[in-house]
Structure 1
Amino acid sequence: MKTVAIISQKGGVGKTTLALHLAVAAERDGKTTVIVDLDPQASAATWKDLRDEAEPVVQPAQVNRLNVILDEARKHGAKLAVIDTSPNSESASLAAARSADLVLIPCRPHLLDLKAISSSIELARLAKKPFSVVLNAVPVRGALASEAIAAINTYDAPVAPVHLTMRAAYYHCLVNGQVAQEYEPTGKAAEEAFLFYKWVRKQLGKSFT
């Protein structure tokens, strides 16, 4: 089983949206997936309550139960675990990062968000795990994406080559317990989410693909 941790010490950057889209894409690719929801707000679990489909499994948890839950998921045949963390919790984020094969740090292309990623990058480095910053909610037009990449480069941090733009489908879908691939299968958001999953799948290596 492979594990992806999605961490950020800043709220509102799209951690849960990223986790849900990644998990559903993996399920659609035939990879049994569990989302471990470490956020006390339980946004992923709330989404699951609205969902008609049985998959992916969403498991709310406290960080002291993380290893137990990951072990149980592995025993039950899960191929991927996606850990959704809470902001402003360094201990939980570090534990998630240390449990992961890949750490993703979502970031919006705005000054305050770009300033805030340094602590998350430090946690990923402390965990000694591969990581990438993922640009999220990027305006469809304009130079903000390239400007944000230049800013992230000053941290000497890798940036995922696929970013998610600011599209209504990412928000409307969640109300119905869906993701963009289900809400608007032929839309741009669905295409981006699939390309992002393909990139993550490649990062996880041949044993996952």
Structure 2
Amino acid sequence: MISLAVCSAKGGVGKTSVVLGLASAALHRGASTLVVDLDPQADATSGLDVTAQRAHDVASVMQAPKRRVAEEAVAPSGWVDDHPGLLDVLSGSDASAGLDTPSADEEALKSLRRALKKLDDHALALLDTPPSLNGLTRSAWRAADAVLVVSDASRFSVAAVDRTVRELRALRQGPRVVGIQVNRFNQRSGEQRFRYEELQGLFGDLVLEPLPDRASVPQSQGAGVPLHSLRTRTARSLAAQFDAVLDRVLPPA
């Protein structure tokens, strides 16, 4: 199983929307995927239309990373009509907020990696982290093979990306950064174009083609369906961009 942590040090950039887009791309490709919802808001769990009740959630898994606990926290996404194995979710919980401390010790940071080793019957794991660089995000970094940094094209986000990449590069044997994904981009905004070019100047080829701000994303989320199932021109264009991002992590067979 290849694990990708999707993170941002700043809230409001659409990080979970990027996770849902990648989950849609993986489902469209036929790659068995586990989404790990580490954000205490649990928006990925909701967005993936998880309705099945489980005895455990991601917080209890991280506190007791045993096979039985981990397996009992996984539920199928409603996108696949509750057929387990195609697109599963390690369900999020507001209880995980108690684990998101800046002072988590090394044993606590390794708990997610230990749990995922017991759930390795998927091709891909997508780790949706909270908008911070505290314990939950750092646990995801320990468990991940790769990291995608999500940003918008704003002054404060540029600073957040810089901090995130510096901290990732400082990790010993840390995950590779596969890209910096600018989201909700408005090409007509001079300020956003300036900030996007600023990111390119700082990080070069790591900065991916920006995802435009399109109605297709809230439409798919509101309908509880994957982006790739929408047939509009803008939805197909966005879906192709998510396919290209997924190629950086999980190359086509």
Q: TM-score range by the shorter chain?
A: 0.7 to 0.9
Tell me which amino acid in the other structure corresponds to 1:59.
Answer: L
Using the alignment, how far apart are the partners of 1:31 and 1:119 within structure 2? 32
Identity %: 25
3-state DSSP class of the match of 1:4? strand
The C-alpha deviation readout for 1:163-202, integer Å capped at 9, x for no partner, is 21000111121122223222x234323322333323432x
Structure exhibiting the larger radius of gyration computed from Cα positions: 2
Please point out which of 87, 108, 120 is paired with 1:56. 87
**Residues 1:170 and 2:214 aligned together:** no
2:5 and 2:128 in contact (8 A); partners too:
yes
Between 64-73 and 124-133, report the one with greater CA deviation. 64-73
Give the structure-1-normalised TM-score.
Answer: 0.84
2:2 and 2:124 in contact (8 A); partners too:
yes
Name the residue aligned to 2:249. Answer: 204
Using the alignment, how far apart are the partners of 1:155 and 1:103 within structure 2? 18
1:121 and 1:157 in contact (8 A); partners too:
no
Name the residue aligned to 1:94. Answer: 138
The C-alpha deviation readout for 1:108-139, integer Å capped at 9, x for no partner, is 11222222222221232134322121010001
Tell me which amino acid in the other structure corresponds to 1:116.
Answer: A
2:2 and 2:250 in contact (8 A); partners too:
no
What does 1:1-209 align with in structure 2 at a 5 Å threshold? Answer: 1-49=1-49, 51-53=78-80, 54=82, 55-60=86-91, 62=96, 64=108, 65-74=111-120, 77-127=121-171, 128-131=174-177, 132-143=179-190, 146-156=193-203, 158-182=205-229, 184-201=230-247, 203-204=248-249, 209=253
Between 118-127 and 36-45, report the one with greater CA deviation. 118-127
Count of aligned pairs: 204
Structure 1: gaps (5+ residues): none
Give the structure-2-normalised TM-score.
Answer: 0.71
1:87 to partner: Cα distance: 1.3
Using the alignment, how far apart are the partners of 1:189 and 1:119 within structure 2? 32
